[in-house]
Amino acid sequence: MRLVTCEVNTDPVVTEGYRALCDGRGTQGQEISHRFDISMLLSPDAPCALVSSGAPKFSRRTRRDETEGKTRRKRWIFPGTLWCGTGSKAGRYDELGMFESADRCCREHDHCPHMIPAFTVNYGVFNSKFFTVSHCDCDQRFRQCLLDVNDTISSMVGYSFFSILQVPCFELKLQKRCTQMYWWGMCKVAKDAPYAVFQSPLPFNSTGDNADSDKSTSNSQLLCRSLKHLDDCKYKIRPLEKKYDLQNTESKTAFHCDCTTRLAAQIESFKQPSILPTLLTDFISHRCFKLPKEKKCHSKKRCSGGFSKASDLLRALKKIEEKDTAGVRNSGNDRKRGIPVRLYKRCLRLEREADIMAQLKRL
């Protein structure tokens, strides 16, 4: 028998009812089920789709509190946190546990845009492990975030995840592979597509275990890598866009306050001049926002969420600008060429151009 269509329903009432029905039937009907060919479920263009529109194909799951979203599954929940563990105890994105700093790191990691859940196929590979595997960029940010917090809870989370569980990560590389299969299992379409290559994790060391690896990375990459966090920020409002019942009236993108705070903590440690101040001034709003706690907050006179001044980011930018005494990075009238899709790539390009100009001036 050929699979014609299917539907993924994450409603716990529906799934529990279906499981109870299957348990009641026992072994009856197993001969019929063995005649179904479900190989199409593993193809990228599988006919299965979530009932809710706009949901990812592989990574959307239902948490214990019946809220839906992409979550990074770890093996246990740490006391005093809502995000550092299996699923999430948080009812909404803004909720954090007693240990807020470590919980923010776990929350960011749980919302990694590139993941392969346990026992599923994504990016051309099957994850046979009991836990979700994320992109190495997400794991690196998770590690660095925990190192920046540097308290007992963050050290316990990092040591458990990287040293005890030894959760691997993956890099994406373009590779010709089968992207569509016939129902009987043979490849129908093969083309270049992202392919996941697993990488073993480094042990977690709270004294700073990435110093050696950072030396091999260029200064430009280190500076611009901080913008990857903004690129992957889940909550952002583009210029003149209305979202989350909030209206962005500026010509710059506004980000959630947690994303701007995380960026500020990263760039404050930079000791050399860079293109970051001009890039952030050109494209990033100096205001950040928090999600309104009421769904219809616009009908209230006073709301707990909304826009506010990104004070920590502005302070960090001011410190960087004070270090930039050469004036090389702030030249050029053509740096603002439309809103970039990825700030990280725009930053690398501008850094390379600035380095070339600096070398030419020395001649």
- Active-site positions read 109, 139
What is the full DSSP assignment across 125-155? EE--SSS-EEEHHHHHHHHHHHHHH-SHHHH
**C-alpha span between 224 and 349 (Å, rounded):** 10
**C-alpha span between 278 and 225 (Å, rounded):** 16
Three-state secondary-structure class, residue 192: strand
How would you label 161-190 residue by residue, b for 16+ Cβ within 10 Å and e otherwise? bbeebebbbbebeeeebebebeeeeeeeee
**C-alpha span between 103 and 106 (Å, rounded):** 5
What is the full DSSP assignment across 229-292? HHHT-S-EE-TT-EETTEE--SSSEEEEHHHHHHHHHHHTT--S--SHHHHHHHHEEEEEEE--
Q: Which run of H or of E encompasses 61? A: strand 60-62
In DSSP terms, 246 is beta-bridged to 243
Q: Which two tokens stand for residue 192?
A: 């270049």
Q: Which of 62, 58, 103 is nearest to 80 (CA)?
A: 103
CA max distance for the chain: 83
Three-state secondary-structure class, residue 165: coil
